[in-house]
Structure formats: structure tokens, C-alpha cells
Amino acid sequence: MQKLIVANWKMNPASLKEAVHLAKACDKTEVVIAPPFVFLEAVSRVLKKASLGAQDVFWNGDGPWTGEISLRQLKGLRAKYVIIGHSERRKLGETDEVIAKKVTAALKSGLTVMLCVGENWDVRKEGKKAAYDFVRRQIVKDLAVLKKLKIGKFKKLIVAYEPVWAIGTGKNDDPADAALMAGFIKETLAADLAAIGSRVLYGGSVTGRNARGFLTLPEVDGVLVGGASLNPAEFKKIVAAGQ
């Protein structure tokens, strides 16, 4: 089965023209492109094969929430996916409570949620058990709502394991360790939340050179790509590795 490749452009590129050009160059099947909010509409118009994703969402509907974007607005632009709980959002102060609200609202709306979890280096250097315990706590807090939702909603859930120490550092996790963590996440979803069948992605300094090492692992269902998704040639190598 073809693996899912997610392009998180973060706060890039600088112009609408560049965003449209990049979207056209990366428009492949089993690809999700998550541009900044300001480019969502333009990217939505040019995608023929890839799906549109958003980098965040607010949990309430329309109303007086300055600077936020609603689920209705995202769906109106044909977004199918939304990234929630990215470590860069958590670093800005986003709590598990806030993340849980966003996950709940997004799943109820029908969007596919990509929940990001992962430990920082202070935790990882304590050992793998400490990393597993940390990730499990994040999952249980952020996804407690799954116990209240119908089982069909689980198909709308993806968990992206992104060790914080690997994001944007050029130092990716060892594929064998990533496979073990992905398996642990699936076991946690099944045991603690009765969520079976959710896909697990790896993210953290994924490039065209190392992508195959992750994408050939049966436990890993795809990758979440940051910087390398801004380079069409590099991104195409990652997509090819997942086919």
C-alpha cells in the first residue's frame, strides 16, 4: 500500500506565486499539502491529485475570535486534513487541554486529524522508556475524546510521531527506533482508547536520502515532511520512496 506523504510548509513560501508553483510541482496522489492559511484558497484551486491540509484550526465555530480560522472555513476551501498539536504550536504555549478541544471539534466536523506527538531531548536522553511514557501521556490526554466518539471516527485519525529533537535539526531518529515507537503508539491507541486502524507517521528531518529507511517499515504508514517539502525535486524523491 502506498504510504501517505504530508508536506507541512510551515510559514513558507514568501509569495502567492511561489506557493502555487510549489503546489503544482508537488501535486501527487497520497500526498497532503498543508500551506499557510493565506495560501489555502490558491493551493486548493490548483491541486488535482493531492489533498489539502491546514496547519491548525480553532475549536469554536464562527464568532469573535481574532486571528483564528474555523472548521467551516477550512472545509469551505476543500481542506480534508488538519495538523493539530505540532511541537512548534506546543512551544508557543498550546496545552494538551487546548489540543484535545481542537481534536474533538475537528473529528466531529469530518476532517482527518493529524495529531503530532513526540518527546524533547531532555526526555529522550533518559532512555526509551521515558520517551514511551511521555508519548503515551500526550496521546491519552489529547485523544480522551475517542472514547465518546463512534468507531468510524478512528479512520479520521492519524498520529504523527515527531521527536522534538529531530525537527529542523538535520538529525533524524533511527528508523528501527521510529518503527518501535510507531508500534507502541498503535498499541496505546488500541489498549487505552480502543482506537484500532489509525495510521502512524514519522516526522523529523525527513529527506530524500533517508525517507526510504522509514517508508519501508511496516509499522510506519507515512511521513510528515517539513523543510524538504519546499524543494520539489527533494519532495518527489520522498514521494517515490513511499510508492
Q: What pLDDT is recorded for position 114?
A: 98
Average pLDDT of the residues in 63-72: 94
- Which stretch of 108-117, 148-157, 169-178 has the lowest confidence by average pLDDT? 148-157
Q: For residue 161, what are the domain limits?
A: 4-241
- Is a pLDDT exceeding 80 seen at residue 57? yes
- What's the angle, vertex CA 34, arms to CA 207 and CA 109, rounded to 5? 135
Grid cell locating 237: 524523491
Task: Write out pLDDT tens, residues 86-98.
Answer: 999 999 999 999 9
Catalytic residue among 86, 88, 94, 119: 86
Q: What pLDDT is recorded for position 140?
A: 92
To the query of whether residue 86 is one of the catalytic residues in this protein, the response is: yes
Q: How far apart are CA 214 and CA 64, in angstroms?
A: 43
Average pLDDT of the residues in 33-58: 98
Query: Which CATH number belongs to the domain containing residue 191 in this structure?
Result: 3.20.20.70
Residue tagged 507541512 (cell numbers): 8
To the query of whether residue 162 is one of the catalytic residues in this protein, the response is: yes
Residue tagged 482508547 (cell numbers): 193
Q: What pLDDT is recorded for position 152?
A: 58
Full-model pTM: 0.95
- Number of separate domains in the chain: 1
Q: What pLDDT is recorded for position 197?
A: 82
* 238 class by beta-carbon count within 10 Å (0-12 exposed, 13-18 middle, 19+ buried): buried
Closest CA to 42 of 9, 68, 64, 86: 9
Q: How far apart are CA 131 and CA 137, in angstroms?
A: 10
Catalytic residue among 97, 162, 187, 234: 162
> Which run of H or of E encompasses 4?
strand 4-8
Closest CA to 7 of 69, 57, 81, 59: 81
**CA trace torsion 160, 82, 96, 199 (10° rounding):** -30
